[in-house]
Amino acid sequence: MAEKFLTIGELARATGVKVETVRYYEKIGLLEAPRRTSGNYRAYRVEHLNRLSFIRRSRDLGFSLDQIRDLLALADKGDQPCQSVDAIARAHLAEVDRKIADLRALRSELDSLIKQCRCGTVAQCKIIEALSPGEAIDPKRRQSSSSAPL
């Protein structure tokens, strides 16, 4: 029985990525370039589908391309201890925790600014004042300098 091949479009649809992304992953070496048909079309195998699904899931979890490259290299050597995989995942989790802490601080600061709003005029706006360097922005000055480069 002949092996079933996927076109690049079928592979992309099956994994939820764009065709350009498949080509990019091939270009940077995350995905092995497939054989070509006699008509010079890419002929992807189930191994490509599995690998691209792994890459997609890893990207969904926020792993960097370098981390994914390392994880794939480790996955290709299935008889190795998994401490290296664990170390990559732990480092990524620490980065996620740092981002969450940054977002919480950002949320708190924005919440504080919004609570200062007294629904007056923009000239009296505490949010605009807090975002301005040193002093509140004069609306007349802002209009006249809006075309000036930063």
Q: What is the pLDDT of residues 18-33, one digit of tens each?
A: 999 999 999 999 999 9
Confidence of residue 116 (pLDDT cuts 50, 70, 90): confident
The number of folded domains in the chain is 2
Residue with the two structure tokens 């890419």: 42
| Cross-strand pairs, 44 | 6
Whose tokens are 């981002």? That residue is 99
Give yes or no for residue 137 having a pLDDT over 80.
Answer: no
pTM metric for this prediction: 0.74
* Distance separating alpha carbons of residues 24 and 118, to the nearest angstrom: 51
Start-end of H helices in the chain: 8-15, 19-27, 46-60, 65-75, 83-115, 126-131, 139-144
146 pLDDT more than 90: no
Residues 58 and 93 in one domain: no
Instruction: Tell whether 133 is covered by a domain.
Output: yes
Same domain, 52 and 85: no
Cα angle vertex 63, ends 52, 93, to 5°? 140
122: phi then psi, degrees, rounded to nearest 5: -60, -35
Together in a domain, 15 and 58: yes
- The CATH number of the domain holding residue 12 is 1.10.1660.10
Are residues 58 and 89 located together in one domain of the fold?
no
Domain residue limits at 40: 1-62
- Binned at pLDDT 50, 70 and 90, residue 78 comes out as confident
